[in-house]
Structure 1
Amino acid sequence: MLELDTEAFEALVVDELDRLPDEMVDGLDNLIFVVEDRPENGTLDTLGLYDGVALTERDRYGFGEMPDRIIVYREPHLAACETLDELADEIHTTLVHEIAHFYGIDDERLHELGWA
């Protein structure tokens, strides 16, 4: 298992966010990115989570709405990767996957596209 403290992991997440294409991130509205150690159930099988209402499912969305969240789980990523390069790639894939959920793309379509 790869070892990386929270601060270094968060920096890697920010680096990978910066590498995403503008077309992907320009439409992100009322969304925050959060790093947590593990999901509430303690599993190491979940790398990330989109917590919100997909753009395609929003009826009326206005002022005062709590922001949607994309959570990146540190310990599952570290358990799944052996090198920093592999970790960066996995974080990148997780970010793309969860951002896709924000835009309303489901897991089946993500599998077809190779992002799941």
Structure 2
Amino acid sequence: MASLPPDLLKSVHNVDIVIERRPTARDRKQAKLGPGGLLLGLYHGIPLTKRGEYYNLVAPDKISIYQEHIEDVCRDDDEIREQVRKTVLHELGHYFGIDDDRLHQLGMG
């Protein structure tokens, strides 16, 4: 988190970032991921762009980071740290309402 841009972090509210060993079947379904695919992270919540005027008093949104899948695509601790950073930024993009296509265009795929 310390390596993320401070201006970005100032705009993020009520979001928990958690590390989980691997995605659940429900997570895989939400991500539309088949049985053999890797899922590095997942945003659970309602993006800022979809929240209405009555959006309040809700549990925090959550960003899950999947340890085993990240370890599967990285060779060493430095790559793991960089991949976690990229994954958190990608999932924060979803928090801000940016879809996967646009995140790929921005180099955050």
User: Does the alignment reach a TM-score above 0.5?
Assistant: yes
Aligned counterpart, 1:107: 100
1:19 aligns with 2:12: no
* Residue number in structure 2 paired with 1:39: 23
Q: Give the percent of matched residue pairs that are identical in Structure 1 and Structure 2.
A: 37
How many residues matched?
Answer: 99
Cα RMSD over matched residues?
Answer: 1.3
Partner of 1:5: none
Residue in 2 that maps onto 1:61? 55
Greater helix content: 1
Aligned counterpart, 2:90: 97
1:7 alignment counterpart: none
Report the 3-state secondary structure (helix = DSSP H, G, I; strand = E; otherwise coil) of the residue aligned with 1:18.
Answer: coil
Distance 2:66 2:37 in 1: 9
User: What CA distance in whole angstroms lies between the structure 2 residues aligned with 1:84 and 1:44?
Assistant: 22
Give the Cα–Cα distance (whole angstroms) in 2 for the partners of residues 24 and 95 of structure 1.
Answer: 12
**Unpaired stretches in structure 1, ≥5 consecutive residues:** 1-16
Q: CA deviation at 1:44?
A: 5.9
Aligned-partner Cα distance in 2 for 1:86–1:34 = 19
Give CA deviations for 1:14-64 in whole Å, capped at 9, x if unaligned: xxx1110111111111111111000003766000000000000000221x2
